[in-house]
Amino acid sequence: MNKHGELEIDAFKSLNSNFPLTFTFVLTEACQLICKYCYFAGKNRENHMTFETAQKGIDYLLENPHIFSHKRIVFDFIGGEPFLEVDLMNKISSYIKKRMYELNHPWFNDYMFNVSTNGLLYSDPKVREFISNNRAHLEIGITIDGTREKHNLNRIFPNGKGSYDEVIKQIPLWLKDFPNASTKVTVASDDMPYLADSIIHLFNLGIKTVNSNVVFENVWKENDDKIFGEQLIKLADKIIDDKYYIDYQCSFFSESIGKPENNNDNWCGSGRNMIALDGHGNFYPCVRFTPFSMSQKKTTVSVGNINSGLDFNKLRPFLTLDKFSQSTEECINCEIASGCAWCVGFNYDSAATDTIYQRATYICKMHKARVRANNYFQQRLMEAKKND
């Protein structure tokens, strides 16, 4: 390797040595559902990973500690629906543990397997076997969007039927396995009127942590921010009045949001401490850059493959990403910027040109509505705690 290549690796290592690496296996591009807000625009039943492809990716990762110096690792299984390939998942997880042991790899005692699933196959015997084999190093998130009405607006089968009744059957077993498990709620324009009731519904199911976000896409209508704010105020009152705040939390409310943002960090670790491997053996900065994630059929941004490894020349732009390089002046100078998220992959997908340096700002009004409701929540919470 020439000196230039060594300098690029050094830059990669210097950014990542204190962070975990999330290494994502895109096991399949198939799914039983066709969720309306799903960013995987090109779902199909043809493309899936083979064990040989996964094996090569794992070997490259584990046999190059001089490149991957991250302090710990998260092996992330995603689809489509990853449990459609549970046999492959079992083989991959076994091989990872075997190779880390053989190599006396420092990650052997500091790794996690993470699975994001729609939950439909959770009680399948092969899924139960996977959980049993990996329980001590495993996190599983089942996506349930809230009430039947909200969930079934977006999370549907190809015939249009909602999936709530099938998913809800799996929640008790999931919470028995993972009492502190969290779920992720996505909010779009059409389902927003159900937001407050949906979060409380999830709390009442026993899910103590609900991570929530609005979609980044340009789907928002006039007055959606007003409806969003009203729903969050309703949710805040319910959480305070019924004392859910003692044991439950929703990420829409946080002490850290709605302040000036002084640091210049990128929002995520795309291409730094996030790498995705697809079924063709190509590496991507994250799963949002894979071909079946691209809604505009743009040129995909592969940053290497299992045969030649990472291409650090292609990774170089991601190493320079920061808030200033992507954001408008309005975003940079915003007095309530903290907590306002962006996605590098969606920025690229939605930009007029093939650039990762153009931040999409479709959620601006929604973030402002969230901040106003959060200020209300924090004030009420402070008063409530004084009276506890």
The pLDDT of residue 8:
64
Predicted TM-score (pTM) of the model is 0.93
At 292, is the pLDDT very low, low, confident or very high (cuts 50, 70, 90)?
confident
- Quick check: is 187 in a domain? yes
* Candidate from 135-139, 356-360, 383-387 with smallest mean pLDDT: 383-387
Does 337 have pLDDT greater than 70?
yes
- Quick check: is 366 in a domain? no
Q: Calculate mean pLDDT across residues 349-362.
A: 93
Nearest Cα residue to 96 out of 80, 84, 87, 107: 107
The one-character DSSP state at 300 is P
Q: Alpha-carbon distance 77 to 117, whole Å?
A: 9
Does 116 have pLDDT greater than 70?
yes
Inter-axis angle of helices 195-205 and 224-241, to 10 degrees? Answer: 30
Average pLDDT, the chain: 93
Print the domain residue range for 148: 3-350
At 226, is the pLDDT very low, low, confident or very high (cuts 50, 70, 90)?
very high
Does 6 have pLDDT greater than 80?
no
- Quick check: is 383 in a domain? no
Degrees (nearest 5) of the Cα angle 201, 207, 212?
Answer: 75
- Span 173-206, pLDDT tens digits: 999 999 999 999 999 999 999 999 999 999 999 9
| Contact of 371 with 341, CB cutoff 8 Å | no
The pLDDT of residue 54:
98
- What share of the chain has pLDDT > 70, as a percent? 95
- How many domains does the chain divide into? 1
The pLDDT of residue 326:
94
Q: Calculate mean pLDDT across residues 49-58.
A: 98
Q: Alpha-carbon distance 19 to 272, whole Å?
A: 9
| Contact of 122 with 142, CB cutoff 8 Å | yes
Q: Alpha-carbon distance 80 to 290, whole Å?
A: 12
Q: Is the peptide bond before 119 cis (omega within 30 degrees of 0)?
A: no
The pLDDT of residue 281:
97
Q: Calculate mean pLDDT across residues 77-95.
A: 97
The pLDDT of residue 251:
97
At 275, is the pLDDT very low, low, confident or very high (cuts 50, 70, 90)?
very high
| Contact of 229 with 372, CB cutoff 8 Å | yes
Strands 111-117 and 283-284: unpaired
- Quick check: is 184 in a domain? yes
Q: Alpha-carbon distance 106 to 66, whole Å?
A: 12
The pLDDT of residue 10:
66
Q: Calculate mean pLDDT across residues 361-367.
A: 97
The pLDDT of residue 388:
77
- How many other C-beta atoms can be found within 10 angstroms of the C-beta atom of residue 369? 22
- Quick check: is 277 in a domain? yes
- Quick check: is 116 in a domain? yes
At 96, is the pLDDT very low, low, confident or very high (cuts 50, 70, 90)?
very high
The pLDDT of residue 1:
46
- Quick check: is 385 in a domain? no
- Span 126-146, pLDDT tens digits: 999 999 999 999 999 999 999
Strands 209-214 and 249-250: parallel
Residue, of 88 and 3, whose pLDDT is higher:
88
- Quick check: is 228 in a domain? yes
Residue 121 maps to which CATH number?
A: 3.20.20.70
- What share of the chain has pLDDT > 90, as a percent? 82
Nearest Cα residue to 305 out of 89, 68, 60: 60
